[in-house]
Amino acid sequence: MIAYLGRRLIQSALILLGISLITFALLYLLPADPVRQIAGRSATPATVESIRRQLGLDQPFLVQYGRYLWNLLQGDLGRSYIQRSEVAQLITARLPATLLLMVGAIVCELLIGLTMGVIAAVRRGTATDQSLMVASFIGVSAPQFVVGLLLLYVFAVKLSWFPIGGYGTFSHLVLPSLTVAVMSAGWYARMMRSSMIDVLRQDYIRTARAKGLARITVLVRHALPNAILPIIAMIGIDIGILMGGIVVVESVFGWPGIGQLVWQAIQRVDIPIIMGVTLVSAFAIVLGNFLADIIAPFIDPRIKLR
Amino acid sequence: MSSPAAPEVHSRPMTKPRPGVLRKLAQRPLALIGLVIVVLVVAGALLAPWLTKFGPDEQMFDGLTLSGEPLPPNATFWLGTDLLGRDLFTRILYGARTSLIIGIVANGIALLIGTLVGVVAGYYRGWLGSVLMRFTDLMMAFPALLLAICLAAVFQPSLWIVALVIALVNWVQTARVMFTQTSSLAEREFIDAERTIGASSARILFMHILPHLIPTIIVWGTLGISTTVLLEATLSYLGIGVQPPTPSWGNIIFENQTYFQAAPWLVFFPGIAILALALAFNLIGDALRDILDPTQRGRS
B261-281: average pLDDT: 91
Query: In the prediction, which pLDDT does A157 show?
Result: 85
A10-39: average pLDDT: 77
The answer to whether the beta carbons of residues A278 and B147 sit under 8 Å apart is yes
A203-231: average pLDDT: 86
Which chain B residues are within 8 Å of A19, Cβ to Cβ? 138, 141-142
Which among A145, A247, A251 has CB closest to B253? A145
A153-179: average pLDDT: 86
* pLDDT tens by residue, B202-225: 888 888 888 889 888 999 999 999
The complex scores an ipTM of 0.85
**Mutation choice for B interface testing from A149, A152, A194 by most B CBs within 10 A:** A149
Establish if A17 belongs to a structural domain. no
Task: Provide the domain count of chain A.
Answer: 1
A14-38: average pLDDT: 76
Tell me which residue range forms the domain holding A149.
Answer: 93-295
**Mutation choice for A interface testing from B30, B134, B151, B154 by most A CBs within 10 A:** B154
For the whole model, what pTM was predicted? 0.86
Yes or no, beta carbons of A143 and B275 under 8 Å apart? yes
Yes or no, beta carbons of A247 and B153 under 8 Å apart? no
**Rounded Cα distance, B300 and B84, in Å:** 48
A195, closest residue in chain B (CA to CA)? B299
Name the pLDDT band for B8 (thresholds 50, 70, 90).
very low
**Is the torsion defined by CA of A77, A291, A185, B282 positive or negative?**
positive
Query: In the prediction, which pLDDT does B34 show?
Result: 93
Establish if A64 belongs to a structural domain. no
The answer to whether the beta carbons of residues B189 and B197 sit under 8 Å apart is no
A220-237: average pLDDT: 81
B296, closest residue in chain A (CA to CA)? A194
Establish if A39 belongs to a structural domain. no
- The distance of A142 to chain B (nearest Cα, Å) reads 5
- For residue B35, CA distances in Å to A142, B232, B239, B276 come to 18, 21, 30, 11
Establish if A108 belongs to a structural domain. yes
Establish if A183 belongs to a structural domain. yes
Name the pLDDT band for B1 (thresholds 50, 70, 90).
very low
Name the pLDDT band for B93 (thresholds 50, 70, 90).
very high
Yes or no, beta carbons of A19 and B138 under 8 Å apart? yes
- The distance of A122 to chain B (nearest Cα, Å) reads 13
Count of beta carbons in the 10 Å neighbourhood of residue B16? 12
Which chain A residues are within 8 Å of B299, Cβ to Cβ? 194, 197
B174-201: average pLDDT: 87
pLDDT score of A28 more than 80: no
A13-38: average pLDDT: 76
- In CATH, what number is assigned to the domain containing residue A99? 1.10.3720.10
B282-295: average pLDDT: 83
Question: Per-residue b/e over B246-285, b at no fewer than 16 CB within 10 Å?
Answer: bbbbbbbbbbbbeebeebbbbbbbbbebbbbbbbbbbbbb
Quote the percentage of chain A above a pLDDT of 70: 92
Yes or no, beta carbons of B260 and A281 under 8 Å apart? no
Q: Which of A186, A197, A188 is nearest to A226 (CA)?
A: A197
Yes or no, beta carbons of B278 and A274 under 8 Å apart? no
Yes or no, beta carbons of B135 and A18 under 8 Å apart? yes
Query: In the prediction, which pLDDT does B299 show?
Result: 42
Yes or no, beta carbons of A22 and B142 under 8 Å apart? yes
Name the pLDDT band for B10 (thresholds 50, 70, 90).
very low
Which among B238, B270, B282 has CB closest to A263? B238
B104-112: average pLDDT: 94
Residue A80 main-chain phi, psi, to 5 deg: -70, 140
Query: In the prediction, which pLDDT does B300 show?
Result: 40
Yes or no, beta carbons of B275 and A146 under 8 Å apart? yes
B152, closest residue in chain A (CA to CA)? A266
The answer to whether the beta carbons of residues B88 and B269 sit under 8 Å apart is yes
Establish if A57 belongs to a structural domain. no
Query: In the prediction, which pLDDT does A3 show?
Result: 83
Question: Per-residue b/e over B135-144, b at no fewer than 16 CB within 10 Å?
Answer: bbbbbbbbbb
Yes or no, beta carbons of A248 and B238 under 8 Å apart? yes
Query: In the prediction, which pLDDT does A281 show?
Result: 87
**Mutation choice for B interface testing from A11, A146, A260 by most B CBs within 10 A:** A146
Establish if A9 belongs to a structural domain. no
* Chains A–B, number of C-beta pairs less than 8 Å apart: 134
Q: H helices within chain B, ranges in order? A: 20-27, 29-46, 48-51, 88-124, 126-140, 144-154, 159-186, 189-196, 201-203, 210-238, 249-256, 265-292
Establish if A59 belongs to a structural domain. no
| Better-scored residue on pLDDT, A131 or B143 | A131
Mean residue pLDDT of chain A comes to 84
B175-198: average pLDDT: 87
pLDDT score of A146 more than 80: yes
